[in-house]
Homo-oligomer: A and B are copies of this chain.
Amino acid sequence: MDRMDCFFNPKSVAVIGASRFPKEVGHVIFRNFMEGGFRGKSFPVNPKADRILDCRCYPSVLKIREKIELGVITVPARIVPLVLEECGKKGIPAVIIISAGFKEIGNEKLEKRIEKILKKHRIRCIGPNCLGVFDPYAQVDTFFLPRYKLERPGKGDIAFISQSGALGSVVMDWMAMKGYKISKFISYGNAVDLDEADLIEYLAGDKRTRVICAYFEGVKRGRRFFEIAKRVSGKKPVIVLKGGVTDEGTKATLSHTGSLAGSAEVHSAAFRQAGIIEARDLEQIFDFARALSTQPRPKGNRVQVITDGGGFGVLTADSLVKNNLTLAKMSKDNINTLKKGLPSYVVLKNPIDLTGDADAERYRIAIDAALDDPNVDMIALITLFQVPLLTSEIVEVVSAANRRREKPIVVIAAGGRYTEVLKKSIEDSGVPTFSYPERAVEALGALHGYRKKKSEL
């Protein structure tokens, strides 16, 4: 077994620093393993307790008889070297150090010390100063925040790695609410051993991950990172949001993860060369990831817009042009077929405006024509659910079109609770949904851009 797999699917875990007190980090993490659905064995380690959550507690990992595949360390920083040595003696191949109090507060010396111990014992390590790992498949969950404050997303195929713990936890909580799903979530903090490059490389080979997303403020070994990223980008999309792209942002990173972030232009150019897709903001990471993980690659940049509201059609057309995509021109044959099937007042240009009395059947006819037409590469579908005749039948129409897997489809729908319910059904069926035209069109742009880039790499 690859030592890296021990982080995400260990047979046995020791929580070193497990605690009896419900508010403490070591308690929450041990509880996650006991009650969250983890199928391996979990052992609490704490010399000051006999039992935790009705389990026998061990004074040291050395007192555990069974083999331990993963150690999760939550003890105070100054004790970390001691417990790490014990992990080494025990032969634990992988540890996550949650504890903070190292380089990020100027304690470089202590960080160097643990680096040495890790090397000596050939232990692979995530952290310190991090939230660690969430794997929804194996239910490895080292996030020490209570679930009512931080919900966990379901099983999917988008991986996210974050240098910043707080940012990672925000994103996870937000994804869970939105119903977006993940394969693996890693907050890696100070990266004393494993850094962004190692994690991206590992995720490239992970069968459950289709798209790799990352937030970081700086890369540790720039050249190595870009070489790995380039190789991985040829296999799977890599989407990055980089913090600290301005001088002011850079200064702020110094007191955050202690890494030095470089200038925006230099990084953007390097990202492009390596085939990395750069996101403008946190939300856009997942706009891109949802499109890239669910939709086929487009053959070109010609988009057919289908709408039931003129204004949204206009805004989508505006957005397409701004993003270097073009409005598709359907063939005459297809237009004639549409003429027969649709009322005379339906506007058969691009956007096709099915107008305010559109129903699901009218959408079906228009979508089929766009899928069949050789002049159409992608479809932007606007379904405003406020109109009287558009009901939940549209969900099946959209997912049937999506099951053909011929052309990328994105759905744009905004509104209140009724809209949100139907949008979630469409999202669950594997079609990315957006509230407003701009983000949807930018996601189509990313699909087109990645396809072009991949063929170059």
Q: Is A79 an interface residue (CB 8 A)?
A: no
Max chain B CB contacts within 10 Å: which of A149, A283, A386?
Answer: A386
Digitize A146-179: 1 where CB-to-B-CB distance is under 8 Å, 0 elsewhere: 1011110000000000111111111101101100
Asked if residues A386 and B251 are in contact (CB atoms below 8 Å), the reply is no
> Distance in Å from the Cβ of A193 to the closest Cβ of chain B?
21
Contacts of A247 in B (CB 8 A): 321
In angstroms, Cα B356 to Cα A311, docked, is 44
Q: Is A282 an interface residue (CB 8 A)?
A: yes
Pull 21 A–B residue pairs with CB atoms less than 8 Å apart, ordered by A. A150-B386, A164-B310, A164-B314, A165-B356, A166-B310, A167-B310, A167-B311, A171-B414, A173-B386, A173-B416, A174-B414, A174-B415, A174-B416, A174-B419, A217-B311, A246-B321, A248-B321, A249-B314, A249-B318, A257-B310, A280-B438
Closest to A437 in B: B281
In angstroms, Cα B440 to Cα A283, docked, is 14
Interface residue tally on A, bucketed by range = 35 or more
| Known contacts A173-B415, A243-B315, A314-B244; A149 and B256 CB within 8 A of each other | no
Asked if residues A416 and B318 are in contact (CB atoms below 8 Å), the reply is no
Q: Is A117 an interface residue (CB 8 A)?
A: no
Contacts of A162 in B (CB 8 A): 311
Asked if residues B173 and A255 are in contact (CB atoms below 8 Å), the reply is no
Asked if residues A170 and B317 are in contact (CB atoms below 8 Å), the reply is no
Which listed residue (B167, B217, B320, B438) contacts A281, Cβ 8 A? Answer: B438
Asked if residues A166 and B311 are in contact (CB atoms below 8 Å), the reply is yes
Contacts of A356 in B (CB 8 A): 165-166
Asked if residues B314 and A243 are in contact (CB atoms below 8 Å), the reply is yes
> Distance in Å from the Cβ of A264 to the closest Cβ of chain B?
8
Contacts of A176 in B (CB 8 A): 416
Which listed residue (B151, B167, B436, B437) contacts A312, Cβ 8 A? Answer: B167
Q: Is A105 an interface residue (CB 8 A)?
A: yes
Interface residues of A in 277-314 (CB under 8 A from B): 280-283, 308-314
Digitize A175-215: 1 where CB-to-B-CB distance is under 8 Å, 0 elsewhere: 01100000000000000000000000000000000000001
> Distance in Å from the Cβ of A164 to the closest Cβ of chain B?
3
Asked if residues A177 and B311 are in contact (CB atoms below 8 Å), the reply is no
Q: Is A58 an interface residue (CB 8 A)?
A: no
Q: Is A429 an interface residue (CB 8 A)?
A: no
In angstroms, Cα B162 to Cα A249, docked, is 38
Closest to A28 in B: B388
Which listed residue (B173, B386, B417) contacts A145, Cβ 8 A? Answer: B386
